[in-house]
Copies of this chain bind each other. A is one copy, B any other.
Amino acid sequence: MSDESSIKVALLGFGTVGSGVYEVIESRQNQLRHLVGHPIEVVAVLVDDISKERKMGSHVFVTDDFQEILALPDLDVVVEAIVGVEPAYTYLSHAIDQGLHVVTANKELFAHKGFELQKRAKDQGVELKFEATVAGGVPIIGALTKLLQVNQVLKIEAILNGTSNYILTKMREEQISLEKALTEAQALGYAEANPTNDIEGYDALYKIMILTELLTGRKVNQNYVRCAGISTISTDDINQANLRHERIKHVGVIEISGEKVFSEVSLLTVSESHKLYSVEGVDNAVLVTGDLIGELVFQGPGAGKYPTASVMVEDLVDIYNPVSKSIKLVTKK
Contact = CB atoms under 8 A, between A and B. Distances in A.
A30 interface: no
A146 interface: yes
Q: How many copies does the complex hold?
A: 2
A295 B290 contact: no
A247 to B, nearest CB: 12
A233 interface: no
Contacts of A295: 300-301
A33 interface: no
A98 B241 CA distance: 62
Interface string A210-243: 0000111111000000000000000000000000
B330 A118 contact: yes
Contacts of A58: none
A261 interface: no
A325 B144 contact: yes
Contact of A314 (B148, B218, B299, B330): B148
B301 A298 contact: no
Interface in A124-160: 137-139, 141-151
Contacts of A115: 330
Contact of A299 (B297, B304, B313, B323): B297
